[in-house]
Amino acid sequence: MDGCWIPQDEVKSSMWRMGFDVPPNYNDNSNYCGGMQNQWKRQNGKCGVCGDPWQGPKEHEKGGKYATGIIGRTYETGSVINTTLDITANHLGFFEFRLCPLLNRRSRLTHECLDQYLLNIGDDLSSTTYYLPHGNKSYFYVPVQLPENLTCKHCVLQWKYHAGNTWGKDKFGRKCLGCADQQEEFYK
């Protein structure tokens, strides 16, 4: 699944678009776990923490081509940040944002760390999911609430897009849109 990216300087795979001296990732709208078949049929739903294929190469993780260690932006503890999401192909589904405070430059980013900080998002900041409106493909502006009690020298903000446009069967055997394993994309 292609079709989305964050046109902001803090996204490591897109920093080159904002003038940072980093390797360009011309497929920065495609951090989708190696594709749906790879993620769900070969890797049992697993995906790298930055959207790389589970089995590798993990170009966006520490030691990878796009993991330069450059901090793209800093934020105030507890602030609401306004994210801009460019959806060039609407796959329905929903967005989530997570945060991981890395202890130091040697720390490895993990799903477990990111899952500790599932962030409130949306206009009223009362939900952890933002559902993509049907049919729209354009820029979406999604407010994200950072935790009040968290400070770190190197936090990683992850945007996860869980698509909802694949047909499949629900638990009762009914065929429906969004009932199958869904493609996921990760950006940080």
Lookup: tokens for 136: 């729209």
pLDDT of residue 106: 81
Q: Residues near 151 by Cβ (< 8 Å), separated by ≥ 6? A: 77, 101
pLDDT of residue 3: 44
pLDDT of residue 32: 86
**Rounded CA separation 82/61 (Å):** 25
Domains of the chain: 4-187 (2.70.50)
Which of these, 62, 56, 60, lies nearest to 27 by C-alpha position?
60
pLDDT of residue 2: 42
Contact between 74 and 157 under an 8 Å Cβ cutoff? The reply is no
Beta strand extents in 103-183 (DSSP E only):
130-131, 139-145, 154-162, 167-169, 175-177
Mean pLDDT in order along the chain per 10 residues (188 residues): 49 82 87 88 92 93 88 89 85 89 86 96 91 80 92 88 73 62 51
**Rounded CA separation 11/86 (Å):** 13
Q: Which residues pair with 87 in a beta bridge?
A: 4
Q: HSE of 113 in the Cβ direction (CA atoms, 13 Å)?
A: 15
Contact between 135 and 90 under an 8 Å Cβ cutoff? The reply is yes
pLDDT of residue 164: 78
**Position 170, amino acid:** D
Contact between 94 and 129 under an 8 Å Cβ cutoff? The reply is yes
pLDDT of residue 180: 56
pLDDT of residue 4: 45
Q: Residues near 124 by Cβ (< 8 Å), separated by ≥ 6? A: none
Which of these, 95, 166, 92, lies nearest to 133 by C-alpha position?
92
Residues listed for the chain: 188
**Position 110, amino acid:** T
pLDDT of residue 31: 85
Contact between 163 and 91 under an 8 Å Cβ cutoff? The reply is yes
pLDDT of residue 1: 38
pLDDT of residue 81: 92
